[in-house]
Amino acid sequence: AVDMFQKVNIPIFGVLENMSVHICSNCGHAEAVFGSDGGKNLAAKLGMPLLGQLPLSLPVREAMDNGTAFAMQQAQPAIAGIYTEAAWQIALAVADKGKDFSGRFPRIVVE
């Protein structure tokens, strides 16, 4: 994917690792069921920043399906913090490019 994006001049902001660990809904134990630091190693190999390592979490999936992200943030502040930090890293990476990319994204209206 990186090679393809580079060939067509699509900027790459960094690596965001999804499902980096599984967080147990019952006890909160985090386990790297798919191995550890895959995103970190890929970012280093590509010479790009690691934007975040997002956990595989049932409360996140349920909140997204039900449209209750705010309630999940209140109930699961540690998990919400991981997503918030990743969002900040993405925003900083976009800002660091020094270009206006707003035209490349759809307009989102919250009513």
Q: Is pLDDT of 104 > 80?
A: no
Give the pLDDT score at 73.
87
Q: Are 54 and 86 in contact (CB under 8 A)?
A: yes
pTM for this predicted structure = 0.76
Q: What is the pLDDT of residues 3-21, one digit of tens each?
A: 998 899 888 899 999 999 9
Quick: pLDDT tens for 15-40.
Answer: 999 999 998 888 889 999 999 999 99
What pLDDT, on a 0 to 100 scale, did the predictor assign at position 52? Answer: 95
The domain segmentation of the chain, as residue ranges, is 2-98
Question: Helix %, strand %, coil % for the chain, to 5?
Answer: 50, 15, 40
By residue count, the chain amounts to: 111
